[in-house]
Structure 1
Amino acid sequence: MANFKALLFGGPSSLPDHERTQFVTSLTEKVKHRLGAGYEHFVHDGEFTTVDGEEVAVFRWAARTAVAE
């Protein structure tokens, strides 16, 4: 199973910088990141950027959903 380095872009400013870089197993599935009482959803549209000489997939913020009670 391949791991891709991903950068979470956009969304709430309360999402700490150190949580914006993650490893994902798929570029076609949403990244669902828990933050507070909800989930921030990020999607990849084919964009990549270079960070410290490494190519990283850019996942842009798409939506927020609440945690089910």
Structure 2
Amino acid sequence: MNQRMRVMLSEGPKGTPLTWEAESLNNGEKVKILSGNGYEHFEFAHRYAEFDGEVLPVYRWCYRTYIAE
């Protein structure tokens, strides 16, 4: 059973949500979010931040990839 975890996203393009429910992440794994015709990729920023009383790992935007046609 896959467990979901909430993460905080930072430095993403305009319209990126502040938090995201990601599948359970392994150490060093990136978060990938579908956005329009591509994916926004976020990597662990090696820090944590409090959001709504919950301490979340922070993932920083690193690059975008496009969906092949």
* Residue 2 of structure 1: how far off its partner (Å): 5.2
TM-score (normalised: structure 2): 0.79
- Whether 1:11 and 2:6 are equivalent positions in the alignment is no
Q: Identity across aligned pairs (percent)?
A: 36
Q: For the residues of structure 1 that align with 2:6 and 2:55, how far apart are their CA atoms?
A: 8
Off by >6 Å, runs of 4+ in structure 1:
none
Note if contact 2:22-2:31 (Cα within 8 Å) is conserved in structure 1. no
- Give unpaired runs (5+ residues) of structure 2: none
Matches within 5 A, 1:45-64: 45-64=45-64
1:22 aligns with 2:21: yes
8 A contact 1:6–1:24 mirrored in 2: no
Count of residues in correspondence between the two structures = 67
- TM-score of the pair, normalised by structure 1: 0.79
Q: Retained in 1: the 8 A contact 2:4–2:21?
A: no
| Letter of the 1:49 counterpart | A
- From the two aligned structures, give the one with the greater helix fraction: 1
Unaligned regions of 5+ residues in structure 1, if any?
none
Q: CA RMSD in A?
A: 1.9
Displacement, 1:3? Answer: 4.0
Q: Distance in 1 between matches of 2:7 and 2:22?
A: 6
